[in-house]
Amino acid sequence: MLNPIMRPIFNVPGCGAYAMLMGIISGYPIGAKIVTNFRENGMCTKEECERLLAFTNNSGPLFIIGTVGISLFGNSLIGMLLFITHLLACLTVGILFRFWKFNKTYYNNSHSSSFVKDTTTNVSFSNLGEVLSKAILSATNTILMIGGFVVLFSVILSILENSNFINIISSVLKPIFSIFRINNNFISGFVSGIIELTNGVQKISSITYKEISINIILCAILLGFGGISILLQVFSITSKTDISIKPYIIGKILHGLLAGIYTYIFISSFPIFNLNL
C-alpha cells in the first residue's frame, strides 16, 4: 500500500515504511533487525536493504525525550527539539540514500521475481504457542545483546579513561573544537559519546555552561551518530546476511552532522528553543 510513497522518495519498497516507523519509535537497533529480516525473507534486494539500513536505525523518543531531555537536561522542550531534529536528519539521509547504487535497483526491479519469495506465516490457534515462543525468544535475545554491549563498552570506556587514552584523543581534537569556538570541557564527553552513546550524552549534559545550546547541539550529533557500541550491535545483526555495513556507517555520520546543523538552525531561528543565559 505504501509503495507509491516509499519508492519515489526513498527508492525502497512499501514494506520499508514499517522498518522506518519501528526504527523511529523503538530506537536502536530495532530498525537494523527488521531490515535484516527483510533480507532473510527475500522481501528486499541487497541494495534496498542497504538504503533502508542507512536511515531506519535511530534513537527512539523514549530515550531522547525521556532520558536525555527530561532526566539529563531537566527540560522536556530540549527533548522535543532533539527528537524533531533527529527525525528531520533521519528523513534527509533517507532521501539522499535513494541514489545509493541507483542503477542497480532498476536491474533488480526488472528481475524482482527472483528476489522476492512468499514467507508469510498464517497464525492460527494450533501454532499460536510456537509463534509466541519464537517472538519472545527473539526479543529476549535482542534485549540481552543490547544490555551486553552497553556493559561491555562501559567497561572499555572506563579502561580508556583510566589509561589516559581519552585525554590523548581530546588533545588532538582541541584545534578542531577551537575553530568552532567550543569550550575544551566538552571534548572528553564528546569522545566518550563517539564510543558509547549513553555515557557521552550524560557527560555533555552535566557540563555547566551559560551557552547551553552547545550542550544541546553536541548531544544532537551524538544521538544521530549512535556511537561505536551501536555500530557493532548493528554489525552483529547484519553479519548473517550479505548486507554491507558501509552505507550504515556513512548514513550515521551524515545523520549526526545533519542533526547538529538542524538543531543549530532551530535554536537560531526560534527564540523558544534558545535557552542560553
Interval 184-242: pLDDT, tens: 899 999 999 999 999 999 999 999 888 899 999 999 999 999 999 999 999 989 988 98
pLDDT band at 107 (very low <50, low <70, confident <90, very high): very low
Q: Are 60 and 27 in contact (CB under 8 A)?
A: yes
Select, from the ranges 108-112, 178-182, 221-225, the one with the highest average predicted confidence (pLDDT): 221-225
Instruction: Please indicate whether residue 267 or residue 106 has the higher confidence score (pLDDT).
Output: 267
Looking at residue 90, what is its pLDDT? 95
123: left (phi over 0), alpha (psi -120 to 50) or beta: beta
* pTM, to two decimals: 0.86
User: What is the residue whose three cell numbers read 557493532?
Assistant: 232
d(CA 237, CA 151): 18
Number of C-beta neighbours around residue 179 at 10 A: 8
**Interval 111-169: pLDDT, tens:** 343 344 444 556 566 677 788 888 888 888 888 888 888 889 889 988 988 998 888 99
Which residues are CB-contacts of 106 (< 8 A; sequence separation ≥ 6)?
Answer: none
Residue 103's pLDDT is what?
67
pLDDT score, position 128: 77
Calculate the alpha carbon distances from 130 to 37, 40, 103, 134, 136 in Å: 18, 20, 42, 6, 10
What is the 3-state secondary structure of the chain? CCHHHHHHHHCCCCCHHHHHHHHHHHCCCHHHHHHHHHHHCCCCCHHHHHHHHHHHCCCCHHHHHHHHHHHHCCCHHHHHHHHHHHHHHHHHHHHHHHHCCHHHHHHHHHCHHHCCCCCCCCCCCCCHHHHHHHHHHHHHHHHHHHHHHHHHHHHHHHHHHHCCHHHHHHHHHHHHHHHCCCCCHHHHHHHHHHHCHHHHHHHHHCCCCCCHHHHHHHHHHHHHHCHHHHHHHHHHHHCCCCCCCHHHHHHHHHHHHHHHHHHHHHHHHCHHHCCCC
Cα separation, 241 vs 224, in Å, equals 25
Count of other CB atoms within 10 angstroms of residue 135: 10
pLDDT digits (tens, 9 = 90+) for 39-83: 988 888 999 999 999 999 999 999 999 999 999 999 999 999 999
